[in-house]
């Protein structure tokens, strides 16, 4: 099992961070290491922020990405509603494409479509 200090893990994370620098004016990011893998958290800098999580296990060769809508309950406690999830991304290029699609609204369009279907079709 690889650990967070392995050169391969550090190189992989650095490559992803280099690629997401183009959105540094839109998102803050944070990297956390866990017993079973690592995660990059992106938080949108806006009045209605989204929260995106990229996770990769040390034991698996695939990525997970999730997008959440952040709201505030009683102006104090943050609440998260999952908008989009993909837990079977096999390559870094596919991960970066998926991240770009989410940043440009793929998750929001899916959520709007689901709401429309619930209100008008079902």
User: What is the rounded CA–CA span in Å between residue 4 and residue 9?
Assistant: 6
Do residues 7 and 13 lie in contact, with contact meaning Cβ atoms separated by under 8 Å?
Answer: no
Q: Of the ranges 75-79, 95-99, 105-109, which is most confident?
A: 95-99
What are the tens digits of pLDDT across the range 40-61? 999 988 877 889 999 999 988 8
Residue 106 scores a pLDDT above 70: yes
For the chain, the domains span 7-121
Q: For the chain, give the mean pLDDT.
A: 87
What SS3 string covers the chain?
Answer: CCCCCCHHHHHHHHHHHHHHHHHCCCEEEEEEECCCEEEEEEEECCCCCEEEEEEEECCCCCEEEEEEEEEEECCCEEEEEEEEEEEEECCHHHHHHHHHHHHCCHHHHHHHHHHHHHHHHC
pTM of the predicted structure, to 2 decimals: 0.82
What are the tens digits of pLDDT across the range 69-86? 888 777 678 888 888 999
């Amino acid at each position: 099992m690889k650990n967070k200090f392995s050169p391969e893990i550090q190189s992989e994370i650095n490559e992803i961070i280099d690629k997401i620098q183009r959105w540094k004016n839109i998102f803050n990011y944070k990297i956390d290491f866990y017993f079973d893998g690592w995660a990059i958290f992106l938080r949108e800098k806006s009045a209605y922020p989204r929260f995106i999580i990229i996770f990769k296990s040390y034991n698996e060769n695939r990525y997970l990405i999730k997008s959440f809508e952040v709201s505030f309950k009683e102006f104090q406690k943050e609440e998260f509603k999952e908008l989009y999830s993909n837990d079977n991304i096999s390559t870094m290029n596919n991960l970066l494409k998926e991240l770009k699609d989410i940043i440009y609204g793929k998750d929001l369009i899916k959520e709007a479509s689901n709401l429309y279907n619930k209100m008008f079709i079902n």
